[in-house]
Amino acid sequence: MSEPFLIGDGMTGGYGKGPDILHDCTIAVNPGEIAVIVGPNGAGKSTAMKAVFGMLNVRSGAVRLGGEDITKLSPQDRVIKGMGFVPQTSNIFTSMTVEENLEMGAFIRTDDISGTMEQVYDLFPILRDKRSQPAGELSGGQRQQVAVGRALMTQPKVLMLDEPTAGVSPIVMDELFDRIIEVARTGLPILMVEQNAKQALEIADKGYVLVQGRNAYTGTGQELLADPEVRKSFLGG
């Protein structure tokens, strides 16, 4: 099997000088795929994603994007390399309008961004209607759409979402997942951390179950959903 497009390979590390949270943890995603990281509370799901994005100290192991070793790069440099990241909280500029949020997402680009903005509006039609409203006045689900839209504005080569459905209602969650599938169909690899393991694995091409910072189970979404061990331990039977 050839090298995946984005891989965090055997990552071990923790925040600052603190103890290791990840132990030899491997996460990877390929174009057109949705990879989902699930696991119990405190398993290091978000930490694993942050490690891929360069927000913590990876003491051993490596992160490669398109074959290039980016382990030493800062998060900002990774954005320039083509990684789009949507944090779990405070992921929009609340005092700025929806359109300004998208513009700021494209800050590093010097070319014409109107085409990308149209694509985002096509993907999230509600944002087109609310383009000149301050993002802070939108509902929870709409805010998440702004957040994802902002990250898409850089035309990233890979999109990373940290619990995009945290705190939104089940209906909104389903809609968000639909959108995410749509994004993935355009060929953009998506790496996502999810609390709602069952729903997330249903749309996942690849699933990683982490336990205490280690890869516990890995497989396609369907395989994991079918695995009795995984079902028993994490999906409530």
Partner 1 sequence: MDFLNAIVALTNFVMIPAVAYGSQLALGALGVTLIYSILRFSNFAHGDTMAFGTMMTILFTWLFQSWGIGFGVLPTALLALPFGILATMALVLVTDRTVYRFYRDQKAKPVVFVMVSLGVMFMMNGLVRFIIGPGDQRFADGERFIIKARAFKEMTGLREGLAIKTTQGITVVTAIVVVALLFWFLNRTRTGKSMRAYSDNEDLALLSGINPERVVMYTWLIVATLATIAGVLYGLDKSFKPFTYFQLLLPIFASAIVGGLGSPQGAIAGGFIIAFSEVTITYAWKKVLRYLMPDNLDPDGLVQLMSTDYKFAVSFAILIIVLLFKPTGLFKGKSV
Q: Which residues lie near partner 1 (CB under 8 A)? A: 75-76, 79-80, 85, 87, 90-96, 100, 103-105, 107-108, 150, 154
**Nearer to partner 1 by C-beta: 106 or 180?**
106
Tell me how far apart the alpha carbons of residues 106 and 86 are, in angstroms, rounded to a whole number. Answer: 14
**Nearer to partner 1 by C-beta: 113 or 224?**
113
**Nearer to partner 1 by C-beta: 44 or 87?**
87
Closest approach of partner 1 to the CB of residue 163, in Å: 16
Closest approach of partner 1 to the CB of residue 220, in Å: 30
Rg (CA), the chain: 17
Closest approach of partner 1 to the CB of residue 70, in Å: 15
Q: What is the 3-state secondary structure (H, E, C) of 142-169?
A: HHHHHHHHHHHCCCCCEEEEECCCCCCC
Torsion, Cα of 4, 76, 139, 131 (10° steps): -100
Q: How far is CA 42 from CA 39, 63, 191, 233, in A?
A: 8, 22, 19, 15
**Nearer to partner 1 by C-beta: 34 or 83?**
83
**Nearer to partner 1 by C-beta: 4 or 105?**
105
Tokens 């090298």 locate to 3
Closest approach of partner 1 to the CB of residue 79, in Å: 5
* Residue type, position 175, single letter: E
Closest approach of partner 1 to the CB of residue 103, in Å: 6
